[in-house]
Amino acid sequence: MKFAVIVFPGSNCDIDMYHAIKDELGEEVEYVWHDTESLEGYDGILLPGGFSYGDYLRCGAIARFSNVMKEVVKAAEAGKPVLGVCNGFQILLEAGLLPGAMKRNESLQFICRPVELKVVNNETMFSNVYEKDEVITIPIAHGEGNYYCDEETLAALKKNNQIVFTYESNPNGSLVDIAGIVNEKGNVLGMMPHPERAVDELLGGADGLKLFQSIVKQWRETHVVKA
């Protein structure tokens, strides 16, 4: 499986993402610059964390107009796995690939520490290696991670089982403890915690590796390679 790590001006977790895929997962991966006009040849798309375009205007609001985002939308519509972490999640929200919006953390402070998450839906292409209701430890690092949506959208998220991860102890004020959601089709995941920073025990834990393993497992089950 071949992954693209999208790099925007201000991305700072792209190297972590690359390392997680190449060195820990053992799959192919390449950096792809924000002005790229084609994502053909890539099986999975990864939008890393950071401060794209300096987080001016709103987090992710400028990045969503980058040339590459047209291709990210096409990849999502084609059913390819698209993962947005932290700033990547914010970009997916701004691009309309996921519903809702991000607000400043309730404390109005930047938070950087490990948190416990519950896997409330383990039947997605991003969570199928986890057990249902498994509690995992993943680091967060954000100032605007307070997820919000209106009542109608929240009802739809619950009805369609689109809430994948929730915080065990809410660090930022996110609505109903939401830490990660998927689109209705289930192939676009946005989450504020950083799984790529939890892929090796040397980093303090490897709970995030299962997320990437889930993607590969799903992909291999649906792509039969003929000898």
User: If you write DSSP's letter for every residue of 24-37 in order, what string do you get?
Assistant: II--EEEEEETT--
d(CA 42, CA 1): 8
From the candidates 27, 94, 144, 194, give the one annotated as an active-site residue.
194
Burial zone of 158 (CB within 10 Å; 0-12 exposed, 13-18 middle, 19+ buried): exposed
CA distance 167 to 115: 7
Mean pLDDT by 10 residues, the chain (227 residues): 97 97 97 95 97 91 95 97 98 98 96 98 98 98 97 98 98 98 98 98 94 96 67
Set 86, 94, 144, 149: catalytic member: 86
Catalytic site includes residue 86: yes
Is the torsion defined by CA of 105, 107, 110, 116 positive or negative?
negative
Catalytic residue among 27, 71, 144, 196: 196
User: The whole model's pTM is what?
Assistant: 0.96
- Full set of structural domains in the chain with CATH: 2-222 (3.40.50.880)
**136-151 pLDDT, tens per residue?**
999 999 999 999 999 9
Nearest Cα to Cα of residue 111 among 179, 53, 48: 179
Q: Is 142 a catalytic residue?
A: no
- Report residue 50 as tokens: 């950071």
132: its two tokens: 């249902």
pLDDT at 206: 97
